[in-house]
């Protein structure tokens, strides 16, 4: 079956702009989590959505937001981009119900803010 | 952030040797632990997981050990191969929380 698909793979934006990243989970998975990966801070949890509801949130400013659609696809948005937002943004999908289960990651979107 | 970034620890091993990668986790309430492998240009890939009611779990060439007393997790890779070269992350989570916290990662180099 198809894996987790993230689009676009690469993105260059200017400071102050906003950006929307997309994640299509594995078919049947209802949980989508987003992570930011940078060399200095490692993999940091942004938020997790399940059945269109945000279930958990990390310690990121309000400029970072997300949503999930009825087909479990998810988007994350970053407004008023800063240079420090340059990172690899990863999403992971899982069944997300009951006890935790294995999460599958996409290849990520590499965002560069200039 | 919740996992403080440090320079990435590196482990260098000879092909065919066994590798042991260690991880300390932070939350006593965590009851689900996962090891991921990340190769350059790719997203993390699940290797093996373990729940807190176990202290050892084996997969193909990999074994995860969990010591809840000292909040320590380790990944053992048997007969390490060049294809095992990657960054390895441990992650902790708790049932119902669905919030996974990742460690800083360890870079494994396998010398041929």
Instruction: Tally C-beta pairs within 8 A across A and B.
Output: 78
Is the pLDDT score of B97 beyond 80?
no
Q: Which residues pair with A42 in a beta bridge?
A: A38
Instruction: List the one residue out of B9, B2, B58 whose CA is nearest residue B30.
Output: B2
A41-80 residue pLDDT tens = 788 999 999 999 998 899 999 999 999 999 999 999 999 9
Hey, are the CB atoms on A48 and B99 less than 8 Å from each other?
Answer: yes
Hey, are the CB atoms on A42 and B43 less than 8 Å from each other?
Answer: no
Q: What share of chain A is helix, strand, coil (3-state, %, to 5)?
A: 5, 55, 45
Note the pLDDT of residue A42.
83
Is the pLDDT score of B104 beyond 90?
no
Task: In whole angstroms, give the CA distance from residue A72 to residue A36.
Answer: 20
To the nearest whole Å, the CA of B94 is away from the closest chain A CA by 7
Hey, are the CB atoms on A90 and B44 less than 8 Å from each other?
Answer: yes
Q: What is the mean pLDDT of chain A?
A: 92
Of A88-92, B8-12, B13-17, minimum mean pLDDT range: B8-12
Phi, psi of B83 (to 5 degrees): -70, -10
CB neighbours of residue A14 within 10 Å: 8
**What is the arithmetic mean of pLDDT over B14-25?**
96
Q: Record the tokens describing residue A104, joined without a space.
A: 């599958």
- Closest residue on chain B to A38 (Cα): B5
Task: In whole angstroms, give the CA distance from residue A66 to residue A20.
Answer: 9
Position with higher pLDDT, A39 vs B77: B77
Is the pLDDT score of A81 beyond 90?
yes
Q: How far is CA A85 from the centre of its chain?
A: 13
Note the pLDDT of residue A110.
97
Task: In whole angstroms, give the CA distance from residue B38 to residue A101.
Answer: 19
Phi, psi of A2 (to 5 degrees): -65, 145
Which residues in chain B touch residue A7, judged by CB atoms under 8 angstroms apart? none
- The CA angle A9-B83-A112, to the nearest 5 degrees, is 20
Confidence of residue A103 (pLDDT cuts 50, 70, 90): confident
- The CA angle B12-B39-A112, to the nearest 5 degrees, is 120
**What is the arithmetic mean of pLDDT over B57-82?**
96
**What is the arithmetic mean of pLDDT over B15-43?**
92
Collapsing DSSP to helix, strand or coil, B82 comes out as: helix
Note the pLDDT of residue B96.
60
**A23 and A74 Cβ atoms separated by less than 8 Å:** yes
């Amino acid at each position: 079956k198809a894996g987790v698909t993230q689009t676009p793979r690469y993105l260059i934006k200017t400071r102050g702009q906003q950006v929307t990243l997309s994640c299509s989970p594995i078919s049947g998975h209802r949980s989508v989590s987003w992570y930011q990966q940078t060399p200095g801070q490692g993999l940091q949890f942004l938020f997790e959505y399940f059945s269109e509801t945000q279930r958990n949130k990390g310690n990121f400013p309000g400029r970072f937001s997300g949503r999930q659609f009825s087909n479990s696809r998810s988007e994350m948005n970053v407004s008023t981009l800063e240079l420090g937002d340059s990172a690899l943004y990863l999403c992971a999908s899982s069944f997300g119900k009951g006890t935790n289960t294995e999460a599958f990651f996409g290849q990520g979107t590499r965002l560069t803010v200039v | 952030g919740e996992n403080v970034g440090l320079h990435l620890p590196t482990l260098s091993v000879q092909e065919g040797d066994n590798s042991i990668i260690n991880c300390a986790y932070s939350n006593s309430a965590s009851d689900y632990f996962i090891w991921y492998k990340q190769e350059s240009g790719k997203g993390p890939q699940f290797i093996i997981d373990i729940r807190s009611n176990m202290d050892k779990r084996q997969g193909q060439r990999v074994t995860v050990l969990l010591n809840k007393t000292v909040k320590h997790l380790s990944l053992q890779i048997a007969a390490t191969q060049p294809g095992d070269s990657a960054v390895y992350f441990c992650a902790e989570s708790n049932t119902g929380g669905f919030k996974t916290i990742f460690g800083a990662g360890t870079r494994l180099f396998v010398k041929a």
